[in-house]
A and B are shown apart, each in its own frame.
Chain A
Amino acid sequence: MSVALLPLSSPEGGGVEGPRGGVGAVVAGLPGGRGRAGADLAALRDLVRAIEGRAAPSGRGAARRLTTGFEALDRLLPFRGYPPGEVTQIVSGVGEGGLSLVVPALAAVTARGRLAAVVDAEGTLYPPALAARGVVLDRLLVVRPPPAAERSADWAVLELARALPLVVASAVPADAVAVRRWRAAAEAGEGAVLLLGRPGAAPDLPAALRLAVRPLPARSARHRPARVIVERLRGVAPGTAATVDLEGESEGKGGGP
């Protein structure tokens, strides 16, 4: 049985507004089909869940999924991970775990055989620690823009966002224009850009997702609990948070604001 996809924005009716103002789709046919039709239905259900902010991509949709590496955080986010084709801003203080939050995503991407990049504007990234956490260094491009270079670090992010599925911009100075450019580049390349910054740095950036990392008291030195707060994301209430252990697995479920 074939399944036809029809736009919802028909002249007779309204449409489902997606996260970017796009128009959703509906299935005109019988649900529950098998084979390809069933897969299409599952993908569409995922899309609707993603739009509603309770996504769990499966099947073909899972191929583009960019997990955070923390189950509790993934459950909070549409697409069960960082939004593809978008810029995510992650804010944390020095030594408070911002980089630890993105390392599992780097490990997942590189272990899947894809390439990723880190634009290390401060020149402090320590690759042996990345390797110890599962990042395949062969597949990780590191860029350290010299301070006196003609081009800026945000240009480097723009160049890479077009070509790679994941680019981490660590302490890269960015303004709203740069972030919009990154987003356009990431969207074209179906990648994601994760911008790590410090609190107070450019708080009004037009990133699709903004996360804040707040360390929590640890029971022991082996654990590193932190609260990851969603400060901005369409479809998710600001202040929604998940508690994760930055040294390992997720600790608990997400909570309300």
Chain B
Amino acid sequence: MIPMPGRRLAWLDLPRLPAERHAGERDLGPRVPLALWEEAGSTRRVASVSAAASALGVEAGSTLAAARARVPDLRDAEMDPAADTAALAAVAEALLAFTPSLAVRPPSGIVLEIGRCARLFGGEEALVGAALDATRRLGFTALAGVADGELGARVLARSWSLGRSRPRPGDPAPTPSPAARLSVAPPRALAAAAAGLPVGALPLPAALLEALEHLGLDTVGAFAALPGDAVGTRFGPEAAACWRAVNGREVPGPLPTFRPPPHLLEAAELEAASSGEGVLFRVRALLERLEERLRGRGEGAASLTLWLSLDDGDRARLPVILSRPMRQAASLLRVVRERLHAFTVDAPITGVAVEVTAVAPLRGAQAGLFVSAAEQVSLLEAVARLEGAFGPGAVFAAVPRDRHRPEAAWGAEPFSPPPEGQIVAPGRRAPTGGKAADPLLPPPRRPLTLLPVPEEVEWAEGASPVPGAAAIVRGRRLAVASVRGPERLRGEWWTASPYDRAYHEVGFACGARAWVYHDGTTGRYMIHGWFD
């Protein structure tokens, strides 16, 4: 009997989410000191700071005036909680690549159920490490903890932002990952693992944490040693929940179903109005973010829309249709570059947004027997670039249609081949020209080229294509050597454009063969195609 794995939860904390979101949207580099503030009565208090501002001593909670006094070239902006919530949801969307069960915990947390998925990634540490990498690619710093419960994992994650204390000798310390800020508490060992952490790691209101410190409770272990009933009575239900968690008594509830945001849209402002490569550089960053989000959804983009904000206040819209679902940013960028190549705007571009307007399932490239996935991707990219340059109607796969009228006997469809190397069933059958296929009769002969507009043939002698006659074709006098036919095609009398044609395969003495028809309506002979 296979034992069921216990519940294991990972908490990802994005402590600088507002500042990093703001910086990413405006292409502010990591060295730009940035503070986001919110109104608190008559003062503006700093609510989120970038790593550069933090290094210069600006801290959340200080007044904006004090922060400016400390860092004169501090960039600042007002907090945008709605945008932060959307950004957190976008990160969670990307993390769906690691587990189907996760939940967003505003303002900066995401909790992931990883108990059953970890083995697919080589263990809990590997999974959460990959999730941290994905979060970093989206432009956010993240801290993580893994434990048996949500609160316990959160305590471990929060401890990274406080400066971690050394575990006491003999404690089963959480495993720190050198590459990422990640702590993993072994199953049923959180109490010991968290004992040495500062009490500030507990997710409790700042005033309550201050009160605990005033009581001399400077570590989580000291807090956990308090009598449980007294904690609930004196500090409230939040503290009681934390107490249960750090004593290993947390019973995590089921996570609500996470629904990805309905719109796949990424936008950025350009620091200086620009065009050309500067725009593409920003588009690339947006496409990289969309790639992560699409990977989380298991989907590829089937069509995109590029929005360009212009300096004159206008907006330009550039739709990009893709022949196959794609999500790799590099591939998408090549297609977008091709579309932009033929697109001109009248004013400098001040902002850019990429919206995925249609998606399709994309669970991974399927390679053929003889070709690699990379080769198939290169073909799909080539097709997409061609469509971008020539328009979607210029790149297609032909599909036979069972119609009598020769020019209507086929149509164009988006090129969507089965994987290369797959055993080929008899392909799409040749059209029978609208007639029921008779196995005893040879299929009707058709020329390899068909003229979009038939060309009239003039006969030098007589009025019919017979061997020995001479025809004037494109100004040249050609002697008829052989004639095959006629094949009479008529129909569609119920439409506005009926046809009545008698086709002949006319071989000329020079070796050329033409498909000539006598139009029963006009009485003229026309070349409709060549047996080239």
Q: How distant is the Cα of A67 from the Cα of B209 in the complex, in angstroms?
A: 80
Does residue B518 face the partner (Cβ distance < 8 Å to A)?
Answer: no
Contact A124 to B400, CB < 8 A, known contacts A146-B390, A163-B379: no
B-facing residues in A169-190 (Cβ within 8 Å): 189
Contacts of B505 in A (CB 8 A): 221
- 7 A-B pairs besides A96-B512, A160-B382 with CB distance below 8 A are A94-B530, A99-B532, A110-B427, A128-B406, A137-B398, A146-B390, A160-B386
Once A162-B378, A221-B505 are accepted as A-B contacts, the answer to whether A137 and B427 lie under 8 Å apart by CB is yes
On whether the beta carbons of A145 and B532 are closer than 8 Å, the reply is no
Nearest A residue (CB) for B369: A113
Q: Which 5 A-B pairs have the closest CB atoms?
A: A215-B511, A127-B398, A95-B512, A136-B427, A95-B530
- Asked if A129 is at the interface of the complex by the 8 Å CB criterion, the answer is yes
Contacts of B342 in A (CB 8 A): 150-151
> Could you tell me if A141 and B383 are in contact, using CB atoms closer than 8 angstroms?
yes
Given contacts A113-B424, A127-B398, A216-B511, contact A141 B415 (CB under 8 A): yes
Q: Is B482 an interface residue (CB 8 A)?
A: yes
Looking at A141, A156, A224, the one whose CB has the most chain B CB atoms below 10 A away is A141
Is A132's CB under 8 angstroms from B417's CB?
A: no
How far, in whole Å, are A94 and B316 apart by their CA atoms in the complex? 46
Residue among A97, A128, A146 with most chain B CB within 10 A = A128
A-B contact pairs, 10 of them (CB 8 A): A95-B511, A95-B513, A96-B512, A111-B424, A114-B370, A125-B449, A137-B400, A155-B389, A156-B390, A189-B375
The answer, yes or no, to whether B233 is at the interface (CB within 8 Å) is no
A130 touches B (CB below 8 Å): yes
Does A131 make an interface contact (CB < 8 A)?
yes
Q: Which of A's residues lie within 8 Å of B, judged by CB?
A: 63, 92-100, 103, 110-115, 122-132, 135-146, 149-151, 155-156, 159-160, 162-164, 189, 214-218, 220-221, 224, 226
Q: Assess A100 versus B532: contact at CB under 8 Å? Given A113-B422, A129-B447, A221-B507.
A: yes
CB-CB under 8 A from B529, the residues of chain A are 124, 126
Is B360 interfacial (CB-CB < 8 Å)? no
Distance between B384 CB and nearest chain A CB, rounded to angstroms: 10
In angstroms, Cα B514 to Cα A78, docked, is: 33
Q: Is there a chain A Cβ closer than 8 Å to B2's Cβ?
A: no
Q: How far is the CA of A137 from the CA of B418 in the complex (A)?
A: 11
B398 engages A114 (CB within 8 Å): no
The answer to whether A140 touches B429, judged by C-beta atoms less than 8 angstroms apart, is: no
Q: Assess whether B448 is interfacial by the CB under 8 Å rule.
A: yes
Compute how far the CA of A65 lies from the CA of B440 in the bound complex, rounded to whole angstroms: 35
A142→B393 CA distance, assembly (Å): 10
Q: Is A127 within 8 A of B531, CB to CB?
A: no
| CB-defined contacts of B486 to chain A, threshold 8 Å | none
Contact A149 B448 (CB under 8 A): no
Task: Please give the distance in Å from B320's CB to the nearest CB on chain A.
Answer: 15
The reply to whether the CB of B318 lies closer than 8 angstroms to some CB of chain A is no
Q: Could you tell me the distance between the alpha carbons of A140 and B406 in the complex, rounded to whole angstroms?
A: 20
Chain A residues within 8 Å of B510, by CB: 93, 96, 215
| Interface of chain B residues 394 through 436 with chain A (CB within 8 A) | 394-400, 406, 409-410, 412, 415, 417-418, 420-424, 427-431
Which chain A residue shows the least CB distance to B377?
A: A163
Taking CB atoms, residues of chain B closer than 8 Å to A214 are 511
Q: Cβ of A129 and Cβ of B429 under 8 Å apart? A: no
Asked whether any CB of chain A lies closer than 8 Å to the CB of B32, the reply is no
> Judging by beta carbons under 8 Å apart, are B394 and A93 in contact?
no
**B417 CB contacts on chain A under 8 angstroms:** 115, 138-139, 141
1/0 contact trace for B162-188 toward A, CB 8 Å? 000000000000000000000000000
B interface residue count range (under 10 / 10 to 19 / 20 to 34 / 35 or more): 35 or more
Chain B residues positioned under 8 Å from A217 (CB to CB): 481
Q: Which residues of B contact A221 (CB under 8 A)?
A: 482-484, 505, 507
A124 and B531 CA atoms in complex are apart in Å by 11
Bound Cα distance from A66 to B514, whole angstroms? 29
**In the bound complex, what is the Cα–Cα distance between A214 and B511 (angstroms)?**
8
- Chain B residues 361-387 with CB under 8 Å of chain A are 368-370, 375, 378-379, 381-383, 385-386
Using CB atoms, name the residue of chain B closest to A161. Answer: B382
B443 on the A face (CB < 8 A): yes
B378 touches A163 (CB 8 A): yes
Is the pair B448, A126 in contact by a Cβ cutoff of 8 Å? Answer: yes
Which of B381, B398, B400, B424 has the most C-beta atoms of chain A within 10 angstroms of its own C-beta? Answer: B398
Give the Cβ gap from B324 to chain A, nearest Cβ, in Å.
Answer: 12
Q: In the complex the two chains form, what is the Cα distance from A164 to B378 in whole Å?
A: 9
Q: Which residues of B contact A130 (CB under 8 A)?
A: 398, 448
Tell me the complex Cα distance, A53–B514, Å.
Answer: 36
Which of chain A's residues have a CB closer than 8 A to the CB of B369? 113
Whether the pair B379, A143 counts as a contact (CB closer than 8 A) is no
Report yes or no: A128 in contact with B409, Cβ–Cβ below 8 A.
yes
Query: Contacts A113-B421, A131-B427, A160-B382 given: A99-B389 contact, CB under 8 Å?
Result: no
Query: B126 near A: Cβ within 8 Å?
Result: no
A126 touches B449 (CB 8 A): yes
Q: How far is the CB of A198 from chain B (nearest CB, A)?
A: 11
The answer on a CB contact under 8 Å between B395 and A136 is no
Min CB distance B154 to A, Å, is 49
| Chain B residue, CB-CB nearest to A227 | B511
| B397 touching A128, Cβ below 8 Å | no
Name the residue on B nearest A127 (C-beta): B398
With a CB–CB cut-off of 8 A, which chain A residues contact B378?
Answer: 162-163
Q: Are A150 and B379 neighbours in the complex by a CB distance under 8 Å?
A: no
For B420, the chain A residues whose CB sits under 8 A away are 113-115, 139
For the complex, give the distance between the alpha carbons of A193 and B317 in Å.
Answer: 37
Whether the Cβ atoms of B447 and A126 lie closer than 8 Å is yes
- Let me know if A140 and B511 touch, CB within 8 A: no
Q: How far is the CA of A2 from the CA of B431 in the complex (A)?
A: 54
Please name the residue on chain B nearest to A164 by beta carbon.
Answer: B379
User: Pick the contact of B410 from A92, A112, A128 — CB < 8 Å?
Assistant: A128
B341 at the interface (CB under 8 A from A): yes
Q: Chain B, 116-148, contact with A by CB distance < 8 Å: what is the 0/1 string? A: 000000000000000000000000000000000
Q: Are B396 and A142 in contact (CB under 8 A)?
A: yes
Contact of B375 among A94, A99, A145, A163 (CB under 8 A): A163
Residues in B neighbouring A96, C-beta threshold 8 A: 510-512, 532
Name the B residues within 8 Å of A216 (CB-CB).
511
The residue from B382, B394, B427 contacting A162, defined by CB atoms under 8 A apart: B382
Give chain B residues whose Cβ lies under 8 Å from the Cβ of A93.
510-512
Q: Which of B517-532 contact A (CB under 8 A)?
A: 529-532
B400, A144: Cβ atoms closer than 8 Å: no
A146 touches B400 (CB 8 A): no
Chain A residues within 8 Å of B428, by CB: 131, 136-138
Q: A93-B510, A95-B512 are in contact. Are A113 and B423 (CB under 8 A)?
A: yes
Q: In the docked arrangement, what's the CA distance between A125 and B391, Å?
A: 19
Q: A127's contact among B375, B400, B513, by CB below 8 Å, is which? A: B400
Tell yes or no: B451 within 8 A of A by CB. yes
A156 x B452 contact (CB < 8 A) = no
- Closest chain-A Cβ to B387's Cβ sits at a distance in Å of 9
